[in-house]
């Protein structure tokens, strides 16, 4: 999916310098519906949220949004 957006940016005259996914926690929360219920559990829910929010792999690979850093072609 990122490739589609990258191609659109290139067709609009931009070169993509870097790209990254972010907000992986929201992606997990939206896609794995049992997690929303588990987050409501006392103590364990808070612990699970903290662990998932600090999970670096999820941030890099399961992001809810994409950030593109671009340069306008001359």
Q: What is the pLDDT of residue 58?
A: 85
Dihedral sign from CA coordinates of 1, 61, 23, 36: positive
Residue for token pair 């409501």:
40
Dihedral sign from CA coordinates of 67, 69, 73, 74: positive
Encode the chain (74 residues) as per-residue pLDDT tens digits. Answer: 789 999 999 999 999 999 988 888 888 888 898 998 999 999 999 999 999 999 988 888 888 889 999 999 77
Alpha-carbon distance of 52 to 62, in angstroms, equals 11
pTM: 0.65
Q: What is the pLDDT of residue 74?
A: 76
Q: Reduced to 3 states, what is the DSSP secondary structure of residue 1? A: coil
Greatest Cα-to-Cα distance within the chain, rounded to the nearest angstrom:
56
């Amino acid at each position: 999916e990122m490739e589609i957006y990258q191609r659109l940016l290139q067709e609009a005259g931009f070169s993509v310098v870097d790209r990254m996914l972010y907000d992986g926690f929201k992606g997990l929360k939206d896609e794995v519906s049992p997690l929303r219920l588990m987050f409501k559990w006392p103590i364990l829910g808070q612990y699970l949220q903290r662990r998932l929010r600090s999970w670096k792999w999820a941030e890099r690979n399961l992001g809810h949004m994409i950030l593109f850093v671009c340069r306008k072609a001359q």
